[in-house]
């Protein structure tokens, strides 16, 4: 089952406000910047795709470091904001059916977009990530694992966001379960980082980053 229309519509609704709220957030996230720099180095001069790119601020960070990067997001509204603010290429697409040629990417990034997918949808997305990566290519994934109210494996639904009517479900993921799902899709976790939230900069949730690799050709 593809991601829901309500998720797409909700992010279309808040796209402009979302971009304003998180602009410059990477300035206060040194670990995030370090991981992005690592991904850029691993990709070299190969193409990189930011999946679930939102307003494109992370895409722009990578581009500023010389990375050949483009972005995809489920929300056309987010893509419009991203194109307008960065001048980089963005397109609306579903991560469970990427419009990307197999084996064409040096690296892939997916930050906090997996949290809106069910388990079967995430498994489909992981298969797509493995398909579009070159042998030896890397994918960096980030997701929420829990907060003071919700444990890993739980979820939360919101219907109001910045005074806009939305319908969004946020899944808090179990890193061990996601590692197994990634392995089943053909992606090996090569590094993992767990961190606490940065106070005053982001939602007070614990987060995990998984650096994965499609096995190199024999």
pLDDT-derived band at 198 (thresholds 50, 70, 90) equals confident
- Going 147 to 153 to 156 to 161, the CA torsion angle's sign is positive
Question: pLDDT for 9-18, tens place per residue?
Answer: 999 999 999 9
Closest CA to 57 of 94, 15, 10, 97: 15
The structure's pTM equals 0.95
Question: pLDDT for 105-142, tens place per residue?
Answer: 999 999 999 999 999 999 999 999 999 999 999 999 99
Distance (Å, rounded) from C-alpha 205 to C-alpha 111?
A: 14
* pLDDT given at position 1: 47
**How much is the mean pLDDT over the chain?**
95
Question: pLDDT for 86-100, tens place per residue?
Answer: 999 999 999 999 999
Q: Is 80 exceeded by the pLDDT of residue 193?
A: yes
Q: Is 50 exceeded by the pLDDT of residue 177?
A: yes
Q: What percent of the chain has pLDDT over 70?
A: 99
């Amino acid at each position: 089952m593809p991601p829901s229309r309500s998720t797409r519509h909700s992010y279309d609704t808040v796209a402009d406000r979302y971009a304003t709220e998180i602009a410059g957030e990477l300035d206060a996230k040194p670990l995030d910047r370090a991981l992005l720099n690592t991904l850029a180095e691993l990709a070299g001069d190969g193409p990189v795709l930011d999946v679930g790119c939102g307003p494109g601020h992370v895409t722009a960070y990578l581009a500023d470091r010389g990375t050949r990067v483009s972005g995809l997001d489920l929300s056309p509204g987010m893509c419009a904001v991203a194109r307008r603010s960065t001048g980089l290429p963005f397109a609306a697409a579903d991560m469970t059916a990427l419009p990307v040629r197999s084996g064409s990417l040096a690296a892939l990034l997916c930050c906090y977009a997996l949290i809106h997918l069910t388990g079967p949808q995430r498994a489909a997305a992981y298969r797509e990530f493995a398909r579009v990566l070159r042998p030896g290519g890397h994918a960096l994934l980030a997701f929420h694992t829990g907060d003071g109210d919700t444990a890993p494996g739980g979820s939360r639904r919101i219907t109001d966001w910045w005074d806009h009517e939305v319908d969004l479900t946020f899944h808090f993921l179990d890193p061990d379960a996601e590692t197994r799902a990634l392995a089943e899709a053909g992606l090996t976790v090569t590094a993992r980082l767990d961190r606490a939230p940065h106070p005053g900069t982001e939602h007070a949730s614990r987060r995990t980053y998984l650096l994965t690799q499609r096995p190199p050709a024999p």
